[in-house]
Amino acid sequence: MKPRVLLSWSSGKDSAWALHDLRRRGDVEVVGLVTTLNEAFGRVAMHGVRAELVQAQADAAGLPLWPVPLPWPCSNDEYETRMRALVEKARAEGVTAFAFGDLFLADIRAYREQQLAGTGITPLFPIWGTAPDTPALARTMIGAGFRATLTCVDPKRLSPAFAGREFDSALLADLPADVDPCGENGEFHTFCHSGPIFDRAIPVRVGDVVERDGFCFADLLPKEARS
């Protein structure tokens, strides 16, 4: 019997690529997608993506969504309390590992390992590499058929004009040299709406672009919806 694994799901391309990698390897069974949701706004924490679109991703991936509602504002203590409750639920359901789509930030990896230490849940980092790997990784994602839209941009690192753009070869060519092609340093975040992990695309359109809490967010809506 394969180990049962949960995957941390931000709704972005790196999470999607991690799911793709885990399924290709075939040595574990991904049994759910864990997403932190802002209770006040019904959106993915940091990415700003509507909860209904994340549910559509989970449905298209054929996996249950494990939402973790977070208050707004949310202290680190409260975040860790709610994540501990998730881990306890996971253990009760036979989950033995928790996978993350982190690419190369050592402090983030160390934090995740610390939080899972002694819980009986093993942290996995299936797409872990180094900063020099990300230009090729970004091109590989696009070449494999993954399609994503930039939903959040840090204007201190990247022009707000990038909010709402597609993550494609043209975008990679336009990125400043000091911006990581995968946005791993927080320059931008994405919503993955198509790719080989899904049995159908999630059609979206870009609504309003707003600045909030020092970030620029492009509001993605289901394509048939009206803003």
Domain chopping of the chain, boundaries: 4-222
The CATH classification number of 4-222 equals: 3.40.50.620
Tokens encoding 132: 């020099």
Q: Between the CA of residue 28 and those of 19, 23, 89, 96, 99, what are the distances in Å?
A: 11, 8, 19, 10, 10
What's residue 175's pLDDT?
98
User: Can you say how many angstroms the Cα of residue 63 is from the centroid of all Cα atoms in its chain?
Assistant: 15
Of the chain, the end-to-end C-alpha distance in Å amounts to 46
What's residue 117's pLDDT?
96
Residue with token string 């872990």: 128
User: Can you say how many angstroms the Cα of residue 126 is from the centroid of all Cα atoms in its chain?
Assistant: 14
What's residue 41's pLDDT?
82
Using CA atoms, how far apart are residues 7 and 25, in angstroms rounded to an integer?
15
What number of other Cβ atoms are within 10 A of residue 178's Cβ?
9
Q: Which run of H or E residues covers position 218?
A: strand 215-222
Residue with token string 């359109």: 205
What's residue 206's pLDDT?
97
What's residue 216's pLDDT?
96
Q: Which residues contact residue 90 at a Cβ distance below 8 angstroms, ignoring those fewer than 6 apart?
A: 6, 98, 121
Q: Please, what are the averages of pLDDT over each run of 10 residues along the chain (227 residues)? A: 96 98 96 92 84 97 96 85 95 97 97 96 98 98 98 97 98 98 97 98 96 94 69
What's residue 42's pLDDT?
81
Tell me the sheet residues that pair with 69.
Answer: 37
Q: Between the CA of residue 69 and those of 15, 64, 164, 194, what are the distances in Å?
A: 19, 16, 25, 25
Considering only CA atoms, which of 6, 14, 4, 2 is closest in space to residue 184?
14
Alpha helices in the chain (DSSP H): 13-25, 51-61, 76-92, 106-116, 134-143, 169-174
